[in-house]
Amino acid sequence: MVGRLMFFAVHCVAHVCLYLVPRCLFYILVKLPITLIEQQLGEQRSFPENDFLMEVVTNWWDKSTLRFFGIVERGMEYPRPLYGGHMQTLMGATRVVGRPAYRRVVVTADDSNPICLDWSVAPTYNGKQVRGVFLVVPGLASSSSSSYIRQFVLDANKDGFHCCVINARGMGSTPVTAPQLIGAVFTADIRAVLRDNIMLTSAAEAAVIAHTSFPIQAIGFSLGGAILSNYLAEESLSASVAPNTGLGLIKAAYAVCAPYDMHESANHMLRLSQMLIYQPNLTKGLKNYLRRHKDIVEIISNMPNADESVLSTVRTVQEFETVYVAPHFGFKCREDYYTASSVMEGKLEHVAIPMMCIGAQDDPIVGPPPHLRRWERIAQTNKNIVFVGLPAGGHLGFLGNPLDELMGATEAAHLLVLHAARNALSLE
């Protein structure tokens, strides 16, 4: 409680000094005078009438997926303050978040590496049974213990959903026993978990559910959103969707703040502010990942060892991908890896289940989502894809006002996802 109160105090100061005062000054000194002059001259307005509006892209002719998720094409407003992207990201990452009571179940991957599934059980709500299950895919260098994953799990549990977090091998407290590391193109572990009802079998082992017909929805955050999108595209292209295995188990999917275009996201991360604020911590986490699993790295033939002489030359995530990730997955350079990892070309067009892609315009890590015209092209090709662009939120921050944060209110992006998930189940 002390930590929450300290965060509340800092948040109040930031809310006034970095949001209310600048916003009022901008309105009085800039927006209002220019708007009045434009009205007198009959010119088109330079500023939007409502900065809180979300952008929604869906198929022009077939609105069935929009109705499936229970959202509208126009008029949806972002329900939280429009803090700047850096404030959203940094304060969102340091907010005080509770710890779900995980129940770990270990299953085996195709290469015999353990896959650690952390289950969090939702209590019954209002005397009713729980609604369903979320399969949660964390982002880069993250696990079930990461604060943004814990926040979603708690929000989903509160709304009546069990959560199953599939930890990336070697992240958090999970082991790596096979010569295979993580990357945006590595989808085998998700495939193994969803194949042959392994996930639902593990649910019974975790005393979550006892039958195999429970509705599953999948959500990926940041790089996890790209991994999930790649998996869905691969499964959709591979064969017809069987009802009780693989893609046939998933009713709907969501990607939040994912690097939908890896080239654009990588270029964004090489900007000066990103190099100073985010790159050092992210790169340090990746290098520590290799140090922890140095014995495995040494037996991977197509990439260098995790020696300090090599690690000391890696200063950015992009250099890490050049030295380790791209060669590990058989690519000549990181640009080839980015092309294979990106989902905007030849991937989302083929996803065979309803999918909502969410991005924040002020995301300082993966950058703003790709241009709306690219989303329109995908949506016209595949009616299953809906894109929602949020005017704020940073990278997985989605900070509420100080009172909301103090009271533990559900995050803005989580409100959107949980609303869509409830609506998807109501159509059964």
Q: Give the whole-angstrom CA distance, residue 416 versus residue 259.
A: 19
Residue 57 lies in a domain: no
The reported pLDDT for the residue numbered 251 is 93
Structural domain of 18: 1-47
5 and 41 in a single domain? The answer is: yes
pLDDT tens track for 363-377: 999 999 999 999 999
In the DSSP assignment, the letter for residue 77 is B
Beta strand pairing call for 161-166 and 132-137: parallel
Residues 241, 246, 249, CA angle at the centre, nearest 5°? 85
208 and 276 in a single domain? The answer is: no
pLDDT tens track for 160-202: 899 999 999 999 889 999 999 999 999 999 999 987 666 666 6
The reported pLDDT for the residue numbered 1 is 76
Residue 124 lies in a domain: yes
The reported pLDDT for the residue numbered 244 is 58
CA distances for 34 relative to 39, 46, 383, angstroms? 9, 8, 40
Domain final residue pick, 322, 338, 354: 338
359 and 212 in a single domain? The answer is: yes
Domain final residue pick, 308, 338, 368: 338
228 and 348 in a single domain? The answer is: yes
Q: Which two tokens stand for residue 205?
A: 């082992």
Residue 129 lies in a domain: yes
pLDDT tens track for 121-161: 888 655 567 788 999 999 998 999 999 999 999 999 999 89
121 and 203 in a single domain? The answer is: yes
329 and 375 in a single domain? The answer is: no
240 and 378 in a single domain? The answer is: yes
**Backbone φ and ψ of 35, nearest 5°:** -65, -40
Residue 61 lies in a domain: no
Which run of H or E residues covers position 1? none
Residue 80 lies in a domain: no
The reported pLDDT for the residue numbered 427 is 61
326 and 351 in a single domain? The answer is: no
287 and 387 in a single domain? The answer is: no
Q: Give the whole-angstrom CA distance, residue 226 versus residue 325.
A: 15
What CATH number is given to the structural domain containing 367? 3.40.50.1820
The reported pLDDT for the residue numbered 122 is 85
Under 8 Å CB-to-CB from 396, ≥6 apart: which residues? 89, 92, 93, 139, 148, 221, 222, 256, 257, 413
The reported pLDDT for the residue numbered 243 is 57
Q: Which residue has the tokens 């299950």?
A: 133
How long, in residues, is the chain? Answer: 428
Under 8 Å CB-to-CB from 52, ≥6 apart: which residues? 77, 78, 82, 391
347 and 331 in a single domain? The answer is: no
126 and 190 in a single domain? The answer is: yes
Beta strand pairing call for 132-137 and 103-108: unpaired
18 touches 12 (CB < 8 A): no
Q: Give the whole-angstrom CA distance, residue 380 versus residue 374.
A: 10
Domain final residue pick, 338, 369, 397: 338
Question: Which residues does the chain have with pLDDT short of 70?
Answer: 46-47, 124-128, 196-213, 239-245, 427-428
310 and 389 in a single domain? The answer is: no
Residue 11 lies in a domain: yes
The one-letter amino acid code at 355 reads M
Residue 54 lies in a domain: no
Domain count within the chain: 3
Q: Kindly provide the b/e burial profile for residues 252-274, where b requires at least 16 CB atoms within 10 angstroms of the residue's own CB.
A: bbbbbbbbbbbebbbebbeeeeb
Residue 65 lies in a domain: no
